[in-house]
Structures are given as structure tokens and as C-alpha cells.
Amino acid sequence: AQKVTQAQTEISVVEKEDVTLDCVYETRDTTYYLFWYKQPPSGELVFLIRRNSFDEQNEISGRYSWNFQKSTSSFNFTITASQVVDSAVYFCALSSGNTPLVFGKGTRLSVIA
Amino acid sequence: DTGVSQDPRHKITKRGQNVTFRCDPISEHNRLYWYRQTLGQGPEFLTYFQNEAQLEKSRLLSDRFSAERPKGSFSTLEIQRTEQGDSAMYLCASSFSGRGYEQYFGPGTRLTVT
């Protein structure tokens, strides 16, 4: 069975602080895909990134960066110099390709001005 | 706007009534997914289509739930004899077929059963 755990239910930071959202996954498949989605207060899930299990290279996109470590089954997400607009619920998700996405319960991030 | 669209955005119904939701995927995508999201939880998979074929429906919550995609374009999700426990956000997503493609989500339909 596949499982995604986001242990942090809520995080609150002051604007311009860095923040890391944790994601730990479980799967028996050797080929799998990991995703992060953002759900702002408007409610629509916004795709942020996809990584496949064969590519452990970390990725940076502007203020966002992702750290994928197969050895610890983790796919953590860091926001550098957080802004109020980053306030949202962030979901980590897992798929083995042709299986549906399995989501974690999400981490609610509040960035305070 | 060429994203995933859903209609209606909000639906209030009385217990026992039937409701139907519509989803229009991104036109180039041949896969379409339905999820349900309750408060404080991540989306929970219900069913998906590749073109008009429904490839997985065992996760539909009960036999009161059904989905169709008759021409491989838009899809409908129907809930018969609604119950208060059906109150949730119903999300639709679409993607290309193949392994690991990201799914793009619509704005959702929020159902409230009174």
C-alpha cells in the first residue's frame, strides 16, 4: 500500500523567514512519482513539481526548492524568504505511474506580515 | 482560460435528493479523475477515465455514486439519495495518459447536504 505522511499539520512563520515542509512516503514500487501541490484559500489545487524515483537531483525554482532523498523516503519542500502570498495548504502526493495520486493530509502554512 | 472547469461551484441540496456535477478537462488531456476532499484532509481518489473508458471505479464510496464520460470529453459525477456525510468538495483533474504525468485540478464543486 502507498502512504504519504505530512507530520506538520500547521506552521506559522514571519514573513522573510525560510520554512521547510516535510513529506515522508511509503511504497513498494521501484518506479514512482512524487508531487507537491498548493491549495490557496480560493481552494483550487495548483501543481508545483513532479519528481520521478530515478532522479534524486534537488530542484530549485525561484524561492522554492525540493530535497528528494530515497534513503529516508522523504521529499521535503523549502520556501526561502517566505511571503504572505505563500500562505496556503501544501500537499505532498505519490503515484506509481498508472495508479491514482495518494495525498498526504497537508500542511497549513501561515505567513505573517 | 483553458484549465479544468467544474460546474456548479456550489450545490446545496436536501438529504435524499440526487445531484450531478460536471467537469470539463483540459482539451488535450485524455485522462480525467474525480476526487473528494473533506475538511482537513487531502483529496481522496474516487474514479478515473481514459478517454471514455472508466478504468477504476472500485474506490467510489458506495453504489449511490456513479460517473460517466460518454464521449471522452466532459464527465459527470452523480450522487443519488444524498446523505449528510456526502457533504464535501468534489474535485476533478485531468492529465495526459502515461506514467507519472501531473494532474491539473479544477476549482471543485462544494456540496452541502442539509
> Do the Cβ atoms of A42 and B107 come within 8 Å?
yes
Across the A/B interface, how many CB contacts are shorter than 8 Å? Answer: 57
Q: Which residues in chain B have Cβ-Cβ distances shorter than 8 Å to A4?
A: 42
CA distances from A111 to A82, B48, B92 (A): 7, 35, 29
For chain B, residues with pLDDT lower than 70 are 1
Amino acid B1: pLDDT: 55
In A45-106, beta strands by DSSP E = 46-52, 59-61, 64-69, 74-79, 88-95, 102-103
Q: Say which amino acid occupies A96.
A: S
The reply to whether residue B42 touches residue A106, judged by beta carbons under 8 angstroms, is yes
Measured between beta carbons, the chain B residues lying within 8 angstroms of A103 are 42-44
Question: CA-to-CA distance for A72 and A53, rounded, in angstroms?
Answer: 13
- Taking the CA of residue B8 and the nearest CA in chain A, the distance in Å comes to 14
Q: Do A47 and B91 touch (CB under 8 A)?
A: no
Rounded-to-integer distance, Cα B4 and Cα B95, Å: 10
CB contact under 8 A, B43 and A91: yes
Contact between chains at A45 and B42 (C-beta distance less than 8 A) = no
CA distance B104 to B82: 27
Contact A88, A12 (CB under 8 A): no
Nearest CA in chain B to A51: B100
Cell representation of residue A19: 520554512
H/E element, A14: strand A10-14
Q: Tell me the per-residue pLDDT of A26-79, one tens digit each, with 9 for 90 and over.
A: 999 999 999 999 999 988 999 999 999 998 888 889 999 999 999 999 999 999
Instruction: Read off the pLDDT of residues A8-24 as tens digits, 9 standing for 90 and up.
Output: 999 999 999 999 999 99
Indicate the residue of A31, A32, A44 with minimum beta-carbon distance to B108: A44
Contacts by A8-13, CB closer than 8 A, 24 or more apart: A8/A107, A9/A105, A9/A107, A9/A108, A10/A107, A10/A108, A10/A109, A10/A110, A11/A107, A11/A108, A11/A109, A11/A110, A12/A109, A12/A110, A12/A111, A12/A112, A13/A82, A13/A109, A13/A110, A13/A111, A13/A112
Instruction: Check residue B90 and give its pLDDT.
Output: 98
Measured CA to CA in angstroms, residue B7 lies from A95, B67, B90, B106 at distances of 27, 15, 10, 10
Give the pLDDT confidence score for residue B71 in this predicted structure.
87
State the nearest Cα–Cα gap between A69 and chain B, in angstroms.
18
pLDDT at A1: 84
